[in-house]
Amino acid sequence: MKKVIVGNHAVSWGVQLARAEVISAYPITPQTQIVEELSEMCADGRLPARFIKVESEHSAMAACIGASVAGVRTFTATSSQGLLLMHEMLHYAAGGRLPVVMADINRAVAPGWNIWTDQNDSLSQRDTGWIQLYCENNQEVLDTTVQSFKLAEAVDLPVMLVLDAFYLSHTSEPVDIPDQADVDTFLPKREARLKLDVNDPRAFGALSPPDMYMELRLRQQEAMEQALEVFDAVEAEWGERFGRRYGAIEPYRTEDAEIVLVTSGTVTSTARYVVDERRARGEKVGLVKIKMFRPFPTARLRRALAGIPRVAVLDRNLSPGRSGIFAEELRAALYDLEPARRPGLDGYVIGLGGRDVTPDTIGECLDRSRAALAAGRAPEREDLWVGVKP
Amino acid sequence: MSQILIKDRIPREELLDSGHLACPGCGAPIAMRLVLKALGEKTMVALPACCWSIIAGPWPQSSLRVPLFHSAFETGAAVASGIKAALEMRGDLETTVIAWAGDGGTFDIGLQALSGAAERNEDIIYFCYDNEAYMNTGVQRSSATPWGAWTTTTPAEHPEMRPKKDMLAIMAAHRIPYAASASVAYPDDLVEKVKKAKGIKGTRFIHILSPCPPGWKIADEESIALARLAVRNRVFPLMEVENGERWRFSVDHPGEPVEPYIRRQGRFRHLGDAEIAEIQRAVDERWKSLERRVQHGT
């Protein structure tokens, strides 16, 4: 069934198809439509789930954690300040190895107050131990929502699926909604390996002294390392059933490219357009979309980018005092390449706080990297902020 | 005579094992032991950070024979809400879900989540075992610390200068079906209240005074005696509130003077006669107010 729906409702439909059993959430723009729709789905019986209308995002995540450790499928959604308020509990979900799924609508962080998109909210949760998946369009949002539960429950790790404020959350696109029966076959009811059980009483999350703690973290790291291949398997099965795959990363027209853009989120669609346009003019440019940010698909990115002369990373985020965060991650990932095959890398900061990223913005990044390539040196810092008012 | 009565009224089943890590004389394991006896094995515990995070034992051990989830400081009521919702989805309507928090996790950092759960009337029992300060971190004041008390953050030269927060009234104001105060020195009263709470649907709140020998600066063997004095002298009255309106006293409170109770605790050692008279005045005044509540409702 095809429907024209906004990205937020693509999440809600995905959660309904996944048959989440406990949902707990707190309103925040631009996420609110997700939980409004889910409230209606719960109220009219389309989704037989308990919806706990908590008094804060912190309690939303705490309630999801309680429900998840009691063995059921759980979901929440948030944005920006709400995600930051959850931060402590994000560590609890991941360290507790609980497969909570959350949608984060990428929204800039205050001050100044800003409800528009950038990625600093989700990227500042980088080290909490959540799998992070960035989506490009509403179909991908719906597909990723359902897949996230399967992935999370396979590796016992929480998954955050991420979409841009307004460009996806409030933008209507045609979305193919799979049949419930097919989704049920793909994603059966959750069977928790361990859960709170009065017939098998255990303590979860207890004090772990220095002689215990490190091994718990190693298990967590191993699960994260497995998550990439499990994600592939989940996508392969989804692709077989529903005909759509996205990939942890997606190279686009990178063959023989001299400059490759690296993007995430909706900037990718604009970048595809720019790449096609430039290719039509004979310019050797390409694109790599990063969907999976954690675990970071290091080896794949190395393979995709080795030997490319210049890489232009488009970051809708900033680690103040350093640079864009995807650029930093990529620099580290490419460091081990032999110098002859290691690309020059320019990290562009664009589109913060929802500033429009147009084909011209991306074209400017490409032109500056082309100039840098020709000159054999990196652009100056002021040339790495594109779309800034003079 | 009364000992025989208690033995008869309190279930013999033990759901708290020996080998727990409480300090000698601590009220907290006594409270847990009695509560679990009253609730039985079909109980799950949401345990935010508190002394009990240690008492329960380090991973992979547990001194409890019921399932237990250790969680963050401010999350007792929210985690319990989530567990209860999950059990409902699993079709388990029998298991009792409790949150078990200290005074810091209840009066202070967990108050927002507790208020949210109570306002939603979540079907959980929230227990606060109150030792009147942050004891697990080494005796810092909380909003449950009584007026005049020494703690490491209210030194004797500048002791606590605010009255203890009236937690029972705050919970009663949420119009929850059942709220009560109880004491480790009155096990039969405590067990009766827990059994009563178990039979009620909705948010139930039970506030248990639980002495802390190192924090109160008392001898290990004085815990129960002092907890009993705190009831007899009306410092910590034992009450029940139904639907936020019907208040009642559940035991006799003869109204003995507060002075022996204060004098026996090192945390009040710096107080002179004038300060103790002030405590007596405040206790008398609050008692009158509680009597009015019992007579006229809120």
The tokens for B95 are 């298991």
Q: How far apart are CA A229 and CA A225, in angstroms?
A: 8
Amino acid at B40: G
Cα separation values, B64 from A104, B32, B78, B129, B204, Å: 37, 9, 21, 17, 22
pLDDT band at residue B143 under the 50/70/90 scheme: very high
Please choose, from the candidates A2, A318, A3, A9, the residue with its C-alpha nearest in 3D space to the C-alpha of residue A163: A9
pLDDT band at residue B276 under the 50/70/90 scheme: very high
- Maximum pairwise Cα distance, chain B: 59
Please choose, from the candidates A146, A142, A141, A138, the residue with its C-alpha nearest in 3D space to the C-alpha of residue A171: A138
Cα separation values, A240 from A235, A236, A237, A243, A252, Å: 8, 6, 5, 6, 22
Look at residue A294 and give its three-state secondary structure. Answer: strand
Q: Which residue of B has its CA nearest to A89?
A: B72
pLDDT digits (tens, 9 = 90+) for B62-109: 999 999 999 999 999 999 999 999 999 999 999 999 999 999 999 999
Looking at the 3D structure of chain B, how many domains does it have?
Answer: 1
Of B77, B81, B86, the CB nearest to A71: B86
Bridge partner residues of B205 (DSSP): B126, B179
- Domains A2-242 and A249-385 agree in fold: yes
Residue B131: CB partners within 8 Å, gap ≥ 6? B27, B28, B51, B102, B103, B210, B211, B212, B215, B216
A373 touches chain B (CB under 8 A): no
Q: Across residues B257-268, what is the average pLDDT? A: 98
Q: How far apart are the first and last CA of chain B?
A: 37
User: What residues in B contact A89, CB-CB < 8 Å?
Assistant: 72, 75
| Structural domain A2-242, CATH architecture | 3-Layer(aba) Sandwich (3.40)
Q: How far apart are CA B129 and CA B106, in angstroms?
A: 9
pLDDT digits (tens, 9 = 90+) for A11-40: 999 999 999 999 999 999 999 999 999 999
Token pair 């949760």 is found at A125
B56 touches chain A (CB under 8 A): yes
pLDDT digits (tens, 9 = 90+) for A256-297: 999 999 999 999 999 999 999 999 999 999 999 999 999 999
Would you state the pLDDT for residue A379? 86
Question: Within a 13 Å sphere around the CA of B245, how many CA atoms are in the beta-carbon half?
Answer: 1
Of B85, B95, B120, the CB nearest to A198: B95
Size of interface A-B (CB pairs under 8 A): 166
Contact B127, B68 (CB under 8 A): no
The boundaries of the domain holding residue B69 are 3-296
Would you state the pLDDT for residue B60? 87
User: What residues in A contact B84, CB-CB < 8 Å?
Assistant: 66
Q: pTM of the prediction? A: 0.97
CATH of the domain at B223: 3.40.50.970
Enter the DSSP assignment of B16.
B
In B, residues 107-146, which contact A (CB 8 Å cutoff)?
112-113, 115-116, 119-120, 122
Q: Where are the domains of chain A?
A: 2-242, 249-385
Residue B1 has pLDDT above 50, yes or no: no
Pairing mode, strands A292-294 and B43-48 = unpaired
Q: How far apart are the first and last CA of chain A?
A: 49
Q: How far apart are CA B25 and CA B139, in angstroms?
A: 16
A95 touches chain B (CB under 8 A): no
Of B44, B60, B115, the CB nearest to A55: B115
**Best residue of B83, B98, B109 to probe chain A, by most A CBs closer than 10 Å:** B83
pLDDT band at residue B253 under the 50/70/90 scheme: very high
The CB density around residue B35, as the number of other CB atoms within 10 Å, is 27
pLDDT digits (tens, 9 = 90+) for B4-43: 667 778 899 999 999 999 999 999 999 999 999 999 999 9
Token pair 């308990």 is found at A50
Q: Could B86 and A66 be called an inter-chain contact, meaning their C-beta atoms sit closer than 8 Å?
A: yes
Q: How far apart are CA A138 and CA A118, in angstroms?
A: 17
CA distance B238 to chain A (A): 30
Q: How high does pLDDT run on average in chain B?
A: 96
Fold classification of A249-385 (topology level):
Rossmann fold (3.40.50)
Q: What ipTM does the predicted assembly reach?
A: 0.97
Report residues of chain A scoring pLDDT below 50.
none
